[in-house]
Amino acid sequence: MKFIKNAKIILKDRIVEGKALAYDEKISGVVSVDSIPADAEVIDAKGAYVAPGFIDIHIHGYLGEDASDGKAEGIRKMAEGIVKNGVTGWLPTTMTVSVAELTKAFDTIGALKEESKSWNGAAILGVNAEGPYINASKKGAQAEEHILTPTADFFKKYGDLIKIATMAPEQDTDFAAIRELKAETGILISMGHTGATFEQAMEAIANGVGHVTHLFNAQTPLTHRAPGVVGAALTADVSVELICDTFHIHSGLFSLIAKVKGDKLCLITDCTRAGGMPDGEYDLGGQKFYLNGIKCLLEDGTIAGSVLKLNDAVRNVLANTDLPLYEVVNAASLNPATAIGVADKKGSIEIGKDADLVIFDENINIHKTIIGGTVRYEA
């Protein structure tokens, strides 16, 4: 048995002090400090927080690499990079590229999934397929030439690997692909890069859509006469992603969205290969883009993903809302774990769940990241 002492332990509904966290590969419980055996392996958190590890369900790239490249070394490098941001589990996220490239990317990521449980980086929990079944009018930085009309066949072949699939439901005649995927796979179907009206979006939800890709970005906005996809996302019982870098979404909205969505709010990064890299020129699904500070823009000024780190997203939400720390942490751990169906094993500090933990200070600077009870990063 291992222990973490002198930590403020972030549970899903409160923060506990003056106790120790006991774990092996799984969490054994919050125990009295006196019960730690003299010869036990103990981490002294020195007053820092210990939280469930962060789970990034929408991240394309990091450190110059991109999940759509289909390169095992790239995926490994990304995993080793984001573990330093407190991420213990992630969904490498593909973009709208060709079916051949997607096939290669899915095969590469799928082949690494088992190994990733014990490697020195964040564990692969599956894939997020963002496209190719999107609406060209809301393509954002996705490559138009690779956009396809929705069909279930291709994603069904990867039904065990894909955890989230982004689609524009108005492109799916009679919601046939959505209904088929919902009935035959465990894939969470997400509306995104969509020009759906409020009515179409609500109907799509009734037919199986359960999630909304980066709320507000690349979808019909909320206005009082046309509530759009945003209006449907806030009305219906679906989970939503939010890119809290303060650039994609005005920080003044964080509080409102958290109030409306509660435990259905998932913080994501939507990070590109420019994440963790210096300002300059990069490539996104075959298109050039430029990084300047926290802004990634295509040549024409279109926003092209982010360079956000998930611990920075937690800090940004904390700084711009009155939410308690445990609720903000939930939005980066338990809520995404619930959305992709792994909350029985991950996402919160509860007895029997995997010991995926992160130790950080008041400023959400990461001190240690622990996966399956093993320290995988130490600052």
Tell me which residues touch Zn ion (CB under 5 A).
Answer: 130, 270
Q: Which C-beta is closer to Zn ion: that of 66 or that of 270?
A: 270
Q: Which C-beta is closer to Zn ion: that of 172 or that of 270?
A: 270
Q: Which C-beta is closer to Zn ion: that of 227 or that of 305?
A: 305
Beta bridge partners of 30: 21
Contacting residues for 34 by C-beta, under 8 A, at least 6 apart: none
DSSP character string of 208-242? TEEEETTTTTTB----SS--HHHHHHHHSS-EEEE
- How near is the Cβ of 240 to Zn ion at its closest, in Å? 14
Euclidean distance between CA atoms 154 and 105, whole angstroms:
13
Please check whether residue 310 is in contact with residue 86, taking contact to mean a CB–CB distance below 8 angstroms: yes
In this structure, the chain runs to a length of 379
Beta bridge partners of 20: 31
Euclidean distance between CA atoms 324 and 338, whole angstroms:
20
Task: Check if 270 is active-site.
Answer: yes
- How near is the Cβ of 214 to Zn ion at its closest, in Å? 6
- How near is the Cβ of 292 to Zn ion at its closest, in Å? 19
Which tokens sit at 278? Answer: 């210096």
Residue tagged active-site, from 172, 270, 312, 356: 270
Euclidean distance between CA atoms 127 and 129, whole angstroms:
6
Asked, as a colleague might, if the bond just before 52 is cis with ω within 30 of 0, I would say: no
Helix (H/G/I), strand (E/B), else coil: 166: strand
Q: Which C-beta is closer to Zn ion: that of 245 or that of 270?
A: 270
Question: Cα-Cα-Cα-Cα dihedral of 54, 330, 312, 246, to 10°?
Answer: 140
Alpha helices in the chain (DSSP H): 72-82, 99-112, 153-157, 176-184, 198-206, 228-235, 254-261, 310-320, 325-332, 334-339
Q: How far apart are the first and last CA of the chain?
A: 23
Q: Longest C-alpha distance within the chain, in Å?
A: 67
Question: Cα-Cα-Cα-Cα dihedral of 353, 356, 361, 366, to 10°?
Answer: -170
Active-site residue numbers? Answer: 270
